[in-house]
Structure 1
Amino acid sequence: MHAAASGQDVYAQRLGAPSRFDVSNGVPTKGGGRLSPEDCEFLFIGGAGVGGDYLKGFRRAFEAAGIQNVRVPGESDPVSKGRLAVDALSIPMMNDLNFAKSLVGMPQAQAAARRSRSLGDEQFNLGGYSYGAAAAAAQAYAVAQEGGKVDNLVLVGAPINADLYGAVRKHPNIRNVINVDLDQHGDPIRAGMSDFELVAALPKVADQFLQDGHDGHFYYSGVGPEHDRRRKGLADRLVERGVR
């Protein structure tokens, strides 16, 4: 992304104000403007709060595994407790097919679809962790409905309803859905769950967060050598499944 000769940011002009589709909500990039799927080959969105050092760990692990052009919104930002709470509470309003359909026709979805088509044989990938997985699933559906292609949709600990999960898995323009449930680590969250099941799981998730915040649903969200090893294992699995 580059600024115009006049000093104006053409990227900001193109996107306009942040919207529900631009979940980074104005995260600055080196070239100015806002980070959006239309400028990414692999946009990976973090959990509620969309900030914290663990996001840098994801980017480093993906890049070390050979995945190209990785963008992780909020990787340089501290976790905002206020935003964390708002994001977590908003999940039941954005984890179903109706929400994904509401993104279709939005300028960012249309621009991302054009971007994906312009890549030709190169991959256009979306993914996320927890809250970010719900956002990525909705975005992928919108891009696909706009005639774009999503080569890989990566869902890690995704609290999405069955209708959205089924829609992204069956959509002909979404070529590969890689779902990583963390039930073997004690996570009660899984792709395809109902909102009733999600609400019922919240006490256990909250307890995992309060205990140490680095196991169960938070298996990949810690900082340090052990969690770097975990993220490396995930990145290697994604490459084995076709992410480039």
Structure 2
Amino acid sequence: MSKQITNEELAELTLGLLLNPELLGELETSDQYKSFMHDIAEVIADHCGGVINCVHEPLPGNPDGDNALYLVSVSPSDSLPSFNQNVWSAFDPEGWEEEDAASYGIEVGETTDTKQLRTQLRSCLIPSEQNPLSFRCHQMRDWRVADNIQFEEQADSVPWTVNCHIGNQVNLEFLDTDNEAYYGVLSGIHLGVPALKITQYGNCLLHIQMTNDGLVLVPESNDSQLTQARLDRHSFHQGHAYLLKA
């Protein structure tokens, strides 16, 4: 007997190896990862056209740090169906600006609507109730890290560990230093409208329902305390900010 792998499962496996190979315990070195990425690009070029030149590693000292991307270098070839309509056309649109379709003996073709095509391609990755998607121990940092904005407090630069489950509902858990679910957000459709549930250490604090009249805020307990928040940076120094305690 042999395993029977569906096209969706093969896409899932390929995606995992490209975006999170550590999860599968594979491609542990940069050379292994570059070789795999090059081979995947070669398969696409063999079937759809183009020439794969090489794979570039992220540059040392890249400001994006762990989020820096490997890059595949692709050139046109006479095996492309046309210069403007091919599998590579939606990516790095400026990359072939100095190339000429005639020099490769191919038609120019109509310009591709790259935004629409990228949206349609990414929709293939959207999870569903039957095919949920989970990320565990994902690291999130303050958005100011990427924008190189100076922190008022050094503790702001410490990353948070986040668990995310996406299916019919979206569940986010922010873990504290003891790996406890410090805060959680559950989003879904309830009573026919978008809804949020906010939790702290597993206990629900607040229900939020979106209605035609606006947001309906319902504390989980009648004993919940709603008081005016301190005037500080977390309340944006606004006097109309409130603090909810269970």
Q: Do these two structures clear the TM 0.5 threshold for a shared fold by scoring above it?
A: no
Compare relative contact order (CA 8 Å, sep 6+) and give the higher one, 1 or 2.
Answer: 1
Q: Which has the higher helix share?
A: 1
TM-score using structure 2 length:
0.24
Q: Which has the larger radius of gyration?
A: 2
TM-score using structure 1 length:
0.24
